[in-house]
Amino acid sequence: MNIIFEKSNNVDGVNITNDDIKPIGISSEFLREDKIGLPQLPEIEVMRHYKSLSDMNFCVESGMYPLGSCTMKYNPKVNEYLASLEGFSMLHPLMSDEDSQGALQLMYNLQEALKVITGMDAITLQPAAGAHGELTGMMVIKKYFESIGENRTKVIIPDSGHGTNPASAMMCGYQIVQVKSNDRGLVDVSDLKAILDKDVAAIMMTNPNTLGLFEEDIVEIADLMHENGSLLYYDGANLNAIMGYSNPAIMHFDVCHMNLHKTLATPHGGGGPGAGPIGVVEKLKKFLPKPTIEFDGNKYYRNYDLPESIGKVKGFYGNFGVLVRAYAYVLMMGINLKNASADAVLNANYVLEKLKGAYDVAYDTRCMHEFVLCGEKQKEQGASTLYIAKRLMDYGFHPPTVYFPLIVHEAMMIEPTETECKKRLDDFIEVMLKIADEIKSNPEIVTSAPHNAVIKKVDETQAARHPDLKYSGDING
Ligand SMILES: *Cc1c(COP(=O)(O)O)cnc(C)c1O
């Protein structure tokens, strides 16, 4: 019984009598005659209801969440405290520049910090998510080609790319051309050469890519693209492997986005409100969304005087509360962001090393912040990747990302992040090894998982294709 209407016990939670509410000036024909049918519960029961709903959720505060590509690191609670300060949380976005110097300075400083992290020349904080950043970046690229009078129609994306990449490029009207990965899991340069022509506006790449591997040929790829007059877009949703070691500018990219809700420890908003700022090289700066946040040496201000801007991509200046959290994290970490990356890579390699006897590894080499296992062997023994994911839930772990990247059969993409301690990594390793043993001796126990979850097993195809979001119980009954 999870619906508050079903819990209603007709005990008045609040005493409002008809005498308390007298409609004034509303014609009787518009007044409700029957009871509205709201649930009636004492406040404590309401609290228990919502608490029990929240207990059904899994979060990093309940256990390890090795969801590859999503970087489910722990978000320090001091970020929340700072974002809730009255001076930030009660600020109105339409207040004048003069009256919001602190907020503008914070955004400006965050832009400067992101310039250091990415090596880019200019930043906008407006986009509300990674995919939204991609769209913004592709709009900038499109505007750039318009400005030089070229009509390029294609965007190249590796077969290991995140699904949002082709979606963003297509929304800008580009035709998607796929470039193959080679047997090392990296972009196949000879295939790239074969498909590269003057219609290509850009390539969208993730580096390290979604297999957790560093694209070693990136400089050669960048030269090929630039010689062809094309641009390079960097999907920096997750910068967790490279902060302080490399950056998109060093790799010769022209545009990048970054997810503050992955790398910079702000909450993942379930599609928003997040923040996916983008960075661009100097020649693309004039196309950024307006207003830009600038400093004249004396005052911080919003600059709307940008005739070549792509326009606005979000109300006001982005999700300010998220920006405060990210800025708090950046200030707190400082140069230690580099250590966060080092530890993220170390943790991933440690787990990979311990698991690779029991599971096949998609590309058996050192990984970056994440790695991809292949569950083909376990599938043959009677339990495919989907069941391994469900079985992990029985042991208190969030499943890894599964069946992505698409080029690995039975993929399990594992990203422990730097915020997990060795003890927790060892617990995870032990459970993964135990599941591999269970599959050998008794696959049934794995294929019937999860055994403790509130929702057992859903029909994934039905859920994706025909979601039924309506509660069918009788609310008033
Ligand atoms: C998460 C992710 C995205 C999309 O970011 P959202 O904020 O979810 O829109 C894009 N690319 C990669 C590689 C990602 O991991």
Asked if residue 217 belongs to a domain, the reply is: yes
Asked if residue 65 belongs to a domain, the reply is: no
* Phi, psi torsion values for 226, nearest 5 degrees: -65, -40
Ligand 1 touching residue 131 (CB < 6 A): yes
Instruction: Take residue 422 and report the two structure tokens written for it.
Output: 């060795």
Ligand 1 touching residue 211 (CB < 6 A): no
Q: How far is the CA of 237 from the centre of ligand 1 (A)?
A: 5
Ligand 1 touching residue 168 (CB < 6 A): no
Residues 104 and 198 in one domain: yes
Ligand 1 touching residue 136 (CB < 6 A): no
- Among 335, 354, 373, the domain boundary falls at 335
Asked if residue 475 belongs to a domain, the reply is: no
**For atom 6 of ligand 1, which residue has the closest CA?**
130
Q: How far is CA 296 from the centre of its chain?
A: 34
Asked if residue 67 belongs to a domain, the reply is: no
Ligand 1 touching residue 160 (CB < 6 A): no
Residues 187 and 320 in one domain: yes
Asked if residue 477 belongs to a domain, the reply is: no
Residues 384 and 366 in one domain: yes
Q: Sign of the CA dihedral 298, 331, 235, 134?
A: negative
How many residues in the chain? 477
Residues 329 and 356 in one domain: no
Ligand 1 touching residue 268 (CB < 6 A): no
Residues 348 and 242 in one domain: no
410/416 Cα distance (integer angstroms): 19
- Among 335, 363, 393, the domain boundary falls at 335
**For atom 7 of ligand 1, which residue has the closest CA?**
130
Residues 108 and 39 in one domain: no
Residues 85 and 233 in one domain: yes
Residues 353 and 288 in one domain: no
Please compute, for residue 51, the number of CA atoms within 13 A of its CA located in the half-sphere on the CB side: 6
Ligand 1 touching residue 164 (CB < 6 A): yes
- Among 276, 306, 335, the domain boundary falls at 335
Note the pLDDT of residue 436: 98
Ligand 1 touching residue 235 (CB < 6 A): yes
CATH number at residue 270: 3.40.640.10
Residues 330 and 387 in one domain: no
Residues 350 and 221 in one domain: no
Asked if residue 471 belongs to a domain, the reply is: no
Q: How far is the CA of 438 from the centre of ligand 1 (A)?
A: 33
Q: How far is the CA of 256 from the centre of ligand 1 (A)?
A: 12
Q: How many domains does the chain have?
A: 3
Note the pLDDT of residue 476: 46
pLDDT along the chain (477 residues), means of 10: 79 68 81 82 91 89 95 96 95 95 98 98 97 98 98 97 97 98 97 98 98 97 98 97 97 98 89 86 98 97 97 94 97 97 98 97 95 97 97 96 95 98 98 98 96 82 85 57
Residues 324 and 355 in one domain: no
Q: How far is the CA of 459 from the centre of ligand 1 (A)?
A: 25
Note the pLDDT of residue 12: 67
What predicted TM-score, i.e. pTM, was given to this entire model?
0.91
Structural domain containing residue 415: 338-464
Residues 285 and 296 in one domain: yes
Lookup result for tokens 């599609």: 271
SS3 call for 451: coil
CATH number at residue 453: 3.90.1150.10
DSSP 67: B
Q: How far is the CA of 421 from the centre of ligand 1 (A)?
A: 25
Note the pLDDT of residue 13: 65
